[in-house]
Homo-oligomer: A and B are copies of this chain.
Amino acid sequence: MRQPAPAARAATSSAPGTVGDVRKANLSRVLSVIAAAGDDQRLSRADIAQVSQLTKASVSSLVADLLAAGLVIEIGVHRDGERGRPSVGLVLNPARCVMGMEINVDYIAAGLVDLNGKLLAHEILPRTNHRSTASEVLGALGELSQGLQGAARAQGLMILGGGLAVPGLVNEEQFTVLQAPNLGWEGQELDVAALLPEPKTRFRLFNEANASALAQQHLMDAQDRDFLFVSGEVGIGGGLIIDGELFVGPQGHAGELGHVVIAPDGKACSCGGRGCLETVAGQEAILAAANLGSAADRISRQERMSQLCQALETGAEPAVGAVAGAGKSLGIAVASAMRLYSVSTVVFGGHFAALEQWLRPAMEAGLQAHAPSIAGQARLLCSPLGQTSALAGAARSVVGDLLEAPHLLVD
Contact = CB atoms under 8 A, between A and B. Distances in A.
Interface in A340-395: 340-344, 369-373, 377
B373 A335 contact: no
Interface string A134-176: 0000000000000000000000000000000000000000000
Contacts of A261: 262, 332, 335-336, 370-371
Contact of A238 (B264, B272, B340, B377): B340
Mostly, the A contact residues are loop
A173 to B, nearest CB: 16
Interface stretch (A41-49, A69-77, A121-129, A244-252): A244-252
Given A271-B373, A373-B272, A264 B340 contact: no
Contact of A343 (B243, B249, B343): B249
Contacts of A369: 273-274
Interface string A255-271: 11101111110000001
Contact of A249 (B238, B332, B341): B341
B260 A339 contact: yes
Nearest to A262: B264
Interface in A230-255: 238, 242-243, 248-255
B342 A340 contact: no
Contacts of A264: 262-263, 328-329, 332, 370
B257 A340 contact: yes
Contacts of A225: 250
Contacts of A179: 373
A264 B262 CA distance: 7
How many copies of this protein are present in the complex?
Answer: 2
Nearest to A265: B263
A342 B250 contact: yes
Contacts of A340: 238, 254-257, 260, 336-337, 340-341
A226 interface: yes
Nearest to A263: B264
A156 to B, nearest CB: 42
A275 interface: yes
A331 to B, nearest CB: 10
Q: Which has the most chain B C-beta neighbours within 10 Å: A226, A252, A257, A259?
A: A259
A94 B256 CA distance: 47
A260 B336 contact: yes
A257 B337 CA distance: 10
Contacts of A275: 370
A250 B339 contact: no
Nearest to A178: B373
A254 B374 CA distance: 12
A208 to B, nearest CB: 16
A205 to B, nearest CB: 17
Contact of A251 (B249, B259, B342): B342
Given A261-B335, A261-B336, A264-B263, A343 B250 contact: yes
- Top 3 A-B pairs ranked by shortest CB distance? A249-B342, A226-B250, A254-B342
26 contacts: A179-B373, A242-B250, A243-B250, A249-B341, A249-B342, A250-B344, A251-B343, A251-B377, A252-B342, A253-B342, A254-B341, A257-B340, A259-B336, A261-B370, A261-B371, A262-B264, A264-B328, A264-B332, A271-B371, A271-B372, A272-B372, A273-B369, A273-B371, A273-B373, A274-B370, A336-B336
Given A249-B342, A260-B340, A271-B373, 13 more contacts: A238-B340, A242-B249, A242-B250, A249-B343, A250-B342, A253-B342, A259-B335, A261-B335, A264-B328, A264-B329, A271-B372, A336-B336, A340-B341
